[in-house]
Amino acid sequence: MNLLAGEVGNPGSLVLGQTSSCGSEVNKKDVRAVCDASIVGLGPAVWAYKYLSFNLNTSLFSIPPCSATISPNNDLPVVDLGYELHQAISFNNEYDLYNFTNIRYAAPPVGDLRWRLPAAPETNRTHIQTGDEGRACPSVLPLWSLLQAQWLTSYWDNTTLGISTNISSYPYRPLPEDGRTTEDCLFLDVIVPKTIFEKTKHKESEDKKLAPVLVWIHGGGQAAGDKGEDDASGLIKRSMNDNDGIVYVQINYRQGVFGFLAGNIKEDRIANLGLHDQRFALEWIAENIHLFGGDPNQVTVMGQSAGAGSIVHHITAYGGENGPVPFQKAIIQSPGWVPGISEKQQKAAREQFFSILGVTTIDEARKLPSEKLIAANALQIYYSAPWGSFTYGEVVDDGYVPDVAWRLLLEGKFDHSVKVMTGHTHDEGLLFTGPESLDGDAFESDVVAYVQVSKDTAKYIANVLYPPIYDGSYGYKDSVQRWALLVGDWSLTCEVDHLRRAFDNETYAYQLSIPPALHAEDVPYTFYKNGSTLGSIFFNRPVANVTVAHAIQDWITSFTIHGEPKSDLAPEFSVQGSNAQLMDTRLESFELIHDRTDGPRCRFWQTVRYDV
């Protein structure tokens, strides 16, 4: 079945041909094509959630007015990277930050380099690069995610959901095209305080100490998002309170079918390419960040959701047998991935993608035009991702990912030298829980289908670990909360416990409990800046307490700089220890509590065998 020929949805809207940026045609040469913030922009995924008014009946979109374009200035500094010369595109006068944007760290993964390991960029010193052409990897949201806010609102309000929950009943209407989207997307940004960068000019000076580096890996289910979806200027400014601050780096990586297509792994070696992109970028940072004033021996990598899950996979890369990772510390926020994606699932996704394209081999797919591949990726994930999932993700590949990551942690097969801080929200799983969870009688069969375990294992999960007892004693009071707890434990929060025990109780951990404390609700706190009104991606709730936001930023920046999370706004923050303590952040207080991931459920999930 060739879906590109029009068997699904509206054939006329299948090719992403809409051009819209603040009411005018997208200018791909304008790095601010989708109303970028003063330092970094809003990515296609978060842009859609935060700024587009989605109407399920008419698919209308309202788009905000643009901010002014900032042009390159000849007075801005230029860095010689050897293979190219790169000039800062702008200087933020309010925060005293240089922005070196869209620095190429790998060759374009197009043509024969599609579905290949990242390669070094070619030398091009014919002119100075400014990064003025916006770059974002192809990004797509599954349809269920666009229905999620309405479904959860109806659940909370105890009202009837007035829309269909049958994914296939909706016509395919792609989001407006982001003019930055391209397969040639392996770029990163370096944002550096002027004080730090100026020291690179005085190499013989006594005051030439390099600054700590914080690297951000965005989330998005390995399907959506880009490096510029969150404005880090407030976080960087917070790091400058008591010293020169930090050098901040954010990276793009291939996602969806471009980064996580698998199947026939031993023959093609194409699995987990998004992870390889990230690793390639981290190695670029280790080699080049000193040119911007950053210390390659003081690199902290931070990620949320799929970005955090990626970090866990880097820590466990090659089972710890390929030397140290190119970073020293990790801040892992709500580490998310679907463990145990079976070879059967991988093959089904691969064959469905080929069917959409009308090809039968990866070599045939490599020869197709980029527009067709991007459209097929969008169509497949839009329709095929079951509620709460994203179709593609990390898989065991006998190489970079030799086994399920949490099993590698249990067996001690990882880089033990990394220092770790984790964070999560109180109710991680609800955001990935669909309306089918209202049927508590289907819980056991849903476990078999969704978690990919045997019927006997599912029976144990349903009757022992998460029994249908709704008095609150097991952490839930209805079937929706029951499923949400399972999903949260299995794919998100239990990794906090696995990391704590793997690193001999020496990890730091915090939890955001400000209601409703859904997955990703801590992101606005991480990237808060004075006066910010941007909220979480699904419900656009802004920061409820600025003190909490500043405390979380203090923990992040002090851990990056000193290796310990500290803030004058919160109680002392010590390692979890054998009693598994974490710092609980509430609306009006902070409190050290026992981490609820410390228990039999999370022990079970670390050892479960999948029916693959």
Longest Cα separation, the chain: 72
Give residue 511's identity as a one-letter amino acid code: Q
CA atoms 343, 344, 350, 354: torsion sign: positive
The conformation of residue 24, written as its DSSP 8-state character, comes to: B
What the block records as the tokens of 564 is 């310990």
Task: Please give the Cα distance from 369 to 475 (Å, whole number).
Answer: 50
What the block records as the tokens of 122 is 């070619």
Assess whether 305 carries a catalytic annotation: yes
The residue among 353, 296, 302, 276 whose CA lies nearest residue 118 is 276
Alpha helices in 438-585 (DSSP H): 443-451, 455-460, 479-488, 494-502, 523-526, 546-562
> How far is residue 538 from each of residues 148, 151, 335, 443, measured CA to CA in Å?
8, 11, 18, 26
Calculate the CA 511 to chain-centre distance. Answer: 18
Catalytic residue among 21, 305, 513, 536: 305
Give backbone dihedrals phi and psi of 439, rounded to 5 degrees, phi first. -90, 90
What the block records as the tokens of 17 is 């041909």
Task: Please give the Cα distance from 196 to 95 (Å, whole number).
Answer: 13
What is residue 189's three-state secondary structure? strand
What the block records as the tokens of 263 is 């199947």
What the block records as the tokens of 326 is 């190119």
Give residue 334's identity as a one-letter amino acid code: S
Question: Which secondary-structure segment (H or E) carries 215?
Answer: strand 211-217
What the block records as the tokens of 578 is 């054998």
What is residue 338's three-state secondary structure? coil
Give backbone dihedrals phi and psi of 99, rounded to 5 degrees, phi first. -120, 105
The Cβ of residue 546 has, within 10 Å, a number of other Cβ atoms equal to 15
Assess whether 428 carries a catalytic annotation: yes
Alpha helices in 158-232 (DSSP H): 194-198
Residues 6+ apart with CB under 8 A from 172: 8, 9, 10, 13, 14, 379, 382, 383
Task: Please give the Cα distance from 557 to 232 (Å, whole number).
Answer: 12
Are 561 and 235 a contacting pair, CB within 8 Å? no
What is residue 431's three-state secondary structure? helix
Give backbone dihedrals phi and psi of 154, rounded to 5 degrees, phi first. -65, -35
Catalytic residue among 428, 479, 491, 521: 428
Going by their DSSP bridges, the two strands 419-425 and 90-92 should be labelled as unpaired
What the block records as the tokens of 308 is 């955090």
Task: Please give the Cα distance from 517 to 596 (Å, whole number).
Answer: 15
* Angle formed at CA 543 by CA 389 and CA 226, multiple of 5 degrees: 45
Task: Please give the Cα distance from 246 to 301 (Å, whole number).
Answer: 12
Residues 6+ apart with CB under 8 A from 44: 34, 136, 139, 175, 178, 180, 181, 224, 225, 226
Task: Please give the Cα distance from 257 to 271 (Å, whole number).
Answer: 10
| Alpha-carbon Rg for the chain in angstroms | 23
The catalytic residue positions are 305, 428
